Amino acid sequence: MSTGAELFSPKGMGLLSNPKSVKVGQTPCEVLYRKNNLVLKHYLPRKKQAASVPLLVVYALVNRPYILDLLPGRSVVEQFLNGGIDLYLIDWGVPDEGERDRTLSDYINGSIHDCLQAVKRAAGSEQVSLFGYCQGGTFSAMYTALHPKEVKNLVLLAAPFDFSANGSLNLWARKEYFDVDKLVDTYGNIPASILNSAFTMLRPIYNTVDKYVQFSWSLSQNGTSSDDKIEMFLAMEKWLSDGIPHPGEVFREFIKGCYQENLLVQNKMKVGKDQVNLKKIACPVLSILAESDHIIPPESSRAIHDGISSVDQAILGFPSGHVGLTVGSGPRKTLWPKVVQWLVERS
């Protein structure tokens, strides 16, 4: 059992009394490009480059990207930098009313394309590798299918492709239950509170009761430093409560085309005037799956491998949840070094 002194060390006490003081996203970076709310970040290299091709991280339009750089020692960004990869990240920022009408094409053929060109110029590279997390992975795959010559390698982290797979979100979003037009027409941008309610309901007991009980219980047990546990717990809570609205029009297109019609795996999804044909993806592709993912069923992520024409493709499964892939200690030790190695060998 922990003593009172261990539980309430100055650092732990300070964090508990002021949860917002926990610092996230601390890895040093510079702003390479800015357009309205979007910021393209370039992380400062830590060692000599092991890969000549830069890596561009495409995050989802849901939640903040600092989950990939939550705390020192719990950071996917650090893993890439320590592996000698030249790293860039698209932070979409907080959408305002002016962003409600932006379409899927504006994001994919506009923003992602502009950022990729900026990375190419900055790195002096002919091509860029893409790394997409969750919805950002779906966007990255769409971009690669539409602009195959621009992308050297494609890495997908828990990204959905087959929306007919068995999963609560896939069920709740079906058109017979969910009127996405009414939601977008009423709200414009979709408030974070609505998105968070849906995510909370995926695991209601865990999200509202159990995680707090387990946290309190873990503090009372012997083991790793309580300060670290407190800092990690509060950083996660900060991220979970720091949601951002989802831009409206692209939400409508994404829900209708992907969740309700499942067009992407049928090669019928439209981005602007262009039809996305996954067969046009021929570059090396690596999919990373969370085997206990309650948000994106692993079979939904696997589906892309049935449709692409890449000769060099691989799937890495890991026994964790959707977010655990990025912040868990297990993936840090065994998963991310493999991903870095995969990229370095192909860059």
Which residues have a catalytic role annotated? 134, 293, 322
Q: Residue 292 in 3-state DSSP? A: coil
Please say which residue, 121 or 270, places its beta carbon nearer to another protein.
121
Please say which residue, 8 or 178, places its beta carbon nearer to another protein.
178
Tokens of 127: 């091509």
Please say which residue, 45 or 204, places its beta carbon nearer to another protein.
204
Distances (CA, A) of 278 to 105, 223, 273: 16, 48, 16
Least Å from the CB of residue 205 to another protein: 5
Closest CA to 339 of 292, 291, 286, 301: 286
Q: 């709310």: which residue's tokens?
A: 37
Distances (CA, A) of 64 to 133, 240, 248: 12, 9, 17
Least Å from the CB of residue 246 to another protein: 15
Give the rounded distance of the alpha carbon of 36 from its chain centre. 21
Least Å from the CB of residue 110 to another protein: 9
Least Å from the CB of residue 75 to another protein: 30
Please say which residue, 205 or 311, places its beta carbon nearer to another protein.
205
Least Å from the CB of residue 204 to another protein: 6
Angle formed by the axes of helices 211-220 and 226-240, nearest 10°: 170
| SS3 readout for 160-206 | CCCCCCCCHHHHHCCCCCCCHHHHHHHHCCECHHHHHHHHHHHCHHH
Number of H helices, E strands in the chain: 17, 12
Please say which residue, 291 or 312, places its beta carbon nearer to another protein.
291
Please say which residue, 44 or 171, places its beta carbon nearer to another protein.
171
Least Å from the CB of residue 171 to another protein: 5
State the Cα–Cα distance between residues 318 and 332, nearest whole angstrom. Answer: 11
The DSSP result for 213-232, as a single string, is HHHHHHHHSSSS-HHHHHHH
Residues in the site for another protein, rule: CB under 8 A?
1, 35-36, 96-101, 168, 171-172, 174, 176-179, 182-183, 186-188, 201-206, 209-210, 213, 217, 220-222
